[in-house]
Chains A and B, each alone.
Chain A
Amino acid sequence: MKKVSWLAKMTERRCQEKKIFRRAKITEKKFNFREFRKNKLAALGSVLLAFLLFFAFFAPLLAPHDPLEQKLDNRLENPSSEYPFGTDELGRCLFSRVLYGARLSLGIGLLVVAVTSLFGTILGALSGYKGGVLDELIMRGVDVVMAFPNIIPALLLAGLLGSGTFNVVIALILTQWPVYTRLVRGLTLSLKEMAFVEAARALRASDLYILRRHILPNCAGQVLVLGTLDIAHVIIFAAALSFLGLGIQPPTPEWGSMLKAGVSYLRVAPQVSFFPGLMIMLTVFAFNFVGDGLRDCLGPEAENGVVLQ
Chain B
Amino acid sequence: MSLNFFFHSTNSIYFLQVSLQSAFLPADKNGNEKMWKYIVKRLLLIFVVLFGVTLVTFSAMHFAPGDPAELIALARYGSDLSSEQIEAVRAMEKLESSVCIQYMKWMDQLLHLDFGKSLISGDDILTEILIRLPATIKLAFSSLCISLLIALPAGILGALHKNTFLGQACVFGSLLGVSIPNFWLGVLFIWLFSLNLGFFPSFGYGGIEHLALPALTLGTSMAAVTTRLTRASMLEALNKEYIITARAKGLDERTVILKHALKNALLPVVTFSGMQLGYLLGGAVVVETVFSWPGIGKLLVDSIFARDFSMVQGCVIFIAVLFSLSNLAVDILYAFLDPRIRYEKHN
Chain A positions within 8 Å of B, measured between CB atoms, are 6-7, 10, 41, 140-141, 143-144, 146-152, 155-157, 159-162, 176, 178-179, 182-183, 186, 225-226, 229-230, 232-233, 236, 239-240, 243-246, 256, 259, 262-263, 266-267, 270, 273-274, 277-278, 280-281, 284-285, 288-289, 291-292, 295, 303-306, 308
Report yes or no: B305 in contact with A179, Cβ–Cβ below 8 A: no
Given known A146-B8, A155-B301, contact A266–B187 (CB-CB < 8 A): yes
Known: A149-B319, A305-B17. A143 touches B232 (CB 8 A): no
Within 8 A of A (CB), among B88-104: none
Knowing A152-B285, A244-B289, A289-B175 touch, does A186 contact B18 (C-beta < 8 A)? Answer: yes
CB A39 to nearest CB in B, in angstroms, measures 12
B267 to chain A, nearest CB (A): 13
**Could you tell me the distance between the alpha carbons of A180 and B183 in the complex, rounded to whole angstroms?**
26
**Who on chain A is nearest to B286 by CB?**
A240
Cβ-neighbour of A285 out of B5, B179, B324 (below 8 A): B179
B interface residue numbers (CB < 8 A to A)? 1-2, 4-5, 7-11, 13-18, 21, 24-25, 45, 48-50, 52-53, 55-57, 60-61, 64-65, 172, 175-176, 178-181, 183-184, 187-188, 190-191, 195, 232, 236, 278-279, 282-283, 285-286, 289-290, 300-301, 304-305, 312, 316, 319-320, 323-324
B4 touches A306 (CB 8 A): no
Chain B nearest CB, measured from A242 CB (Å): 10
Number of A-B residue pairs with CB-CB distance less than 8 Å in the complex they form: 194
Contact yes or no, B179 A152, CB < 8 A: no
Query: B residues within 8 A CB of A151?
Result: 283, 285-286
Residues of A within 8 A of B64 (CB): 160-161
11 CB < 8 A contacts A-B: A10-B25, A148-B282, A150-B283, A152-B300, A157-B60, A160-B64, A186-B18, A244-B286, A244-B301, A266-B191, A270-B191
Q: In the complex, which of the residues A141, A144, A270, A295 has the most CB atoms of chain B within 10 Å of its own CB atom?
A: A144
Q: Which B residues lie within 8 Å of A147 (CB)?
A: 4, 49-50, 52-53, 320, 323-324
Partner of A267, one of B13, B17, B195: B195
Q: Which residue of chain A is the closest to B316 with respect to CB atoms?
A: A156
Given A149-B319, A176-B8, A281-B181: A143 in contact with B175 (beta carbons within 8 A): no
Contacts of A160 in B (CB 8 A): 60-61, 64-65
Across the interface, do A292 and B11 meet the contact criterion of CB distance under 8 Å? yes
* Bound form: Cα–Cα A155–B57 in Å: 12
Min CB–CB distance A226 → chain B (angstroms): 7
Do B18 and A308 have beta carbons less than 8 Å apart? Answer: yes
User: Taking the nearest CB of chain B, how far is it from the CB of A155, in angstroms?
Assistant: 6
In the complex, the answer to whether B11 meets A229 with C-beta atoms within 8 Å is yes
User: Contact at A243–B232, with CB atoms within 8 Å?
Assistant: no
**Best-buried of A157, A159, A278, A295 by chain B (most CB within 10 Å):** A159
Nearest Cβ on chain B to A9's Cβ, whole angstroms: 9
